[in-house]
Structure 1
């Protein structure tokens, strides 16, 4: 596992990015940075990812979740198209529009896959396709525990999955905001990647997300970096 941490100032900029209905939000920016970093790192332009959500979306008046606790968990595939990754502003807008086009933030996928009988073997096969990469933004942690009795511990929890279990993905990016700072952990299969390869990816992710934050702090036209079209 390789982790990268962003400053409180950068995290605050990330959380304040969605200042108009047409602006990208924090998730758009984090996912775009991941896609651009993957494109830089691998040379590819299109990536199939599984993404996760808490599953607590309001999808209809007939479903009331306000008196429940915990996550319902949604997991669904996306195609992350980085064909415009040479321009960060174009890449983030493409990602934003793609995410907004997904019905009910992916909840329908699980219903189609697990609760629907398919007569077509082709459709079943499509739903059974597996991605090798996972992206998961877990949200914010720590602020709710700042009281006299409890505080959020920064100590690593250790392995949460048995070491003998087969990994579901070759590469996972798990993002969360802890105590006001964004932390992104890159978990990988050591049979597929070496530490140095993942460290390079992490460095590219940090560079790209920081460039996106500058873009939204100062405006599209005012941020220029060598070798990068904004």
Structure 2
């Protein structure tokens, strides 16, 4: 980021909503086409937008936060019956060549090459679950102090497949709570 320009006083807020078809593509068709996860595709899109904003091909430092409930923590650990907030937080350095936004929107072939390259960069990272342990419990590890100024948080989907709306049966008020 540019500390001389990027200050609280110059900060803004942008909210964008996607239509159902675009959302369906972003959460289903695009990840399937690239054999990638939704988070990978969203991170790559985020990096593309930052590359466009910064106008360079320099690596982009992103502080990635996740829900921390990965099934692969250990084969004998079942997190499905736990309550509470787990979080993984780890830095990612992602390099994407800036593309003219017209090529991104048009979905030109060069975009596919960029997505595949960025996906491989993300998959080459060490296990994100171990970063916090390394940083906070191993004083010999020299990873403290690298906190990217940009954060990214995708906690997943709350709705059923393809519905576009949260499922009513996810959240119900217990009859006992109404007494």
Q: Match of 2:96?
A: 82
SS of structure 2 residue aligned to 1:16: helix
Q: How far apart are residue 84 of structure 1 and its match?
A: 6.7
- Mapping 1:59-78, distance limit 5 Å: 59-78=73-92
Note the aligned Cα RMSD (angstroms). 2.5
Q: How far apart are residue 78 of structure 1 and its match?
A: 0.4
Match of 2:154 among 130, 133, 137: 137
**Do structure 1's residue 111 and structure 2's residue 123 form an aligned pair?**
no
- Mapping 1:97-108, distance limit 5 Å: 97-104=120-127, 106-108=128-130
**2:94–2:122 contact (8 Å) kept in structure 1:** no
Assess, with a 3 A threshold, how the Cα gap between structure 1 residues 65 and 103 changes in structure 2: closer, same or farther: farther
SS of structure 2 residue aligned to 1:76: strand
What stretches of structure 1 of length at least 5 have no aligned partner? 151-230
**1:84–1:91 contact (8 Å) kept in structure 2:** no
Task: For 1:109 and 1:98, locate their aligned partners in 2 and report how far apart those are by CA, in whole Å.
Answer: 17
Q: Match of 1:127?
A: 144
- CA displacement 1:92-128 (0-9 Å, x = unmatched): 1122112222333x1110010112231xxxx43x332
TM-score (norm 1): 0.55
Task: For 1:66 and 1:147, locate their aligned partners in 2 and report how far apart those are by CA, in whole Å.
Answer: 15
Assess, with a 3 A threshold, how the Cα gap between structure 1 residues 98 and 139 changes in structure 2: closer, same or farther: same
More helix by share: 2
**Do structure 1's residue 53 and structure 2's residue 60 form an aligned pair?**
no
Task: For 2:35 and 2:126, locate their aligned partners in 1 and report how far apart those are by CA, in whole Å.
Answer: 19
Task: For 1:99 and 1:63, locate their aligned partners in 2 and report how far apart those are by CA, in whole Å.
Answer: 25
Task: For 1:143 and 1:41, locate their aligned partners in 2 and report how far apart those are by CA, in whole Å.
Answer: 33
Larger RCO (CA within 8 A; separation ≥ 6): 1
SS of structure 2 residue aligned to 1:6: coil
Match of 1:34 among 21, 42, 46: 46
Q: How far apart are residue 42 of structure 1 and its match?
A: 1.1
Task: For 2:52 and 2:83, locate their aligned partners in 1 and report how far apart those are by CA, in whole Å.
Answer: 40
More strand by share: 1
Q: Match of 2:23?
A: 11
Assess, with a 3 A threshold, how the Cα gap between structure 1 residues 61 and 5 changes in structure 2: closer, same or farther: same
